[in-house]
Structure 1
């Protein structure tokens, strides 16, 4: 994350990753205040065993792009709602990357989806994550079916 003020949003990704049993690390690395450290983090990530990077930042939000410029690993950007533009600037900064330096971008404050996307990418290599993702989706489906029964009565065909 670009700042410790982003931690309440990043915690949502942490919760998802913990729930899925996906190992992770969390650090603060500002693209503007720590450019050398951010570049070193990105350049060394693969050698340290990292396979996907989630980068969260608000306002100018160049963290995901700065990381993507320094690694070929998948990078997922979380634009954080902050400042006068309520995250719209962060969204544009994160999603509008130059050709060849992609950043997958989730919704403003979409940390949970960033974690689910990272897990989906990792599931290509790790079947145990695939199973946990399927279990999560099934439990969500069942929960919604039950809530629908409570709100509207039993589901019946037309």
Structure 2
């Protein structure tokens, strides 16, 4: 059982530090990857295919700013629960990312956390609670 954090950009990693601190403190297994839905789509699809085939119990936290396509793209390519994390930035200070994540079309099951400095913490705590259901 683990949490997989996928970042749309390496620049988003610092934003998730409170979440990583939580997982370290709670001894939650996790791994991180930087795979943009735009720049690394084929690599992202291959990675998700590997996760799907692993049979492991996983919750995915998808972190993205600006157009924030990553969480929705991940959600349609896996059966695992996905929690989208909007990252503040750009001319709209993350509002575009938040709307992109929470306004995915029907048949794209995707959870979303708020747009604030502790969003990464909330996402990791939520993902951990989902994992606890599998114990």
| Higher-strand-fraction structure | 2
Kindly report the root-mean-square deviation, in angstroms, between the aligned alpha carbons of the 2 structures: 1.2
Q: Matched residue of 2:80: which SS?
A: coil
**Counterpart among 61, 78, 81 of residue 74 in structure 1:** 81
**1:27 match: secondary structure:** strand
Distance 2:57 2:48 in 1: 10
Q: Which runs of 4+ in 1 moved over 2 A?
A: 46-50
Q: Is structure 2 residue 125 aligned with structure 1 residue 116?
A: yes
1:97 to 104, 108, 111: 104
Residue segments in structure 2 that go unaligned for 5+ positions in a row: 1-6
On the 8 A contact 1:42/1:68 being kept in 2, the answer is: no
TM value normalised by structure 1: 0.76
Report the Cα offset of residue 50 of structure 1: 5.0
Q: In the alignment, which of 42, 53, 58 is matched to residue 36 of structure 1?
A: 42
Aligned residues: 126
1:46 CA displacement: 3.1
Partners of 1:47 and 1:82 in 2: how far apart? 35
Q: Normalising by structure 2, what TM-score?
A: 0.88
Identify the structure with the greater helix proportion.
1
Give the match's secondary structure for 1:45. Answer: helix
Structure possessing the higher relative contact order (Cα contacts under 8 Å, 6 or more residues apart): 2
**Structure 1 unaligned blocks of 5 or more:** 127-158
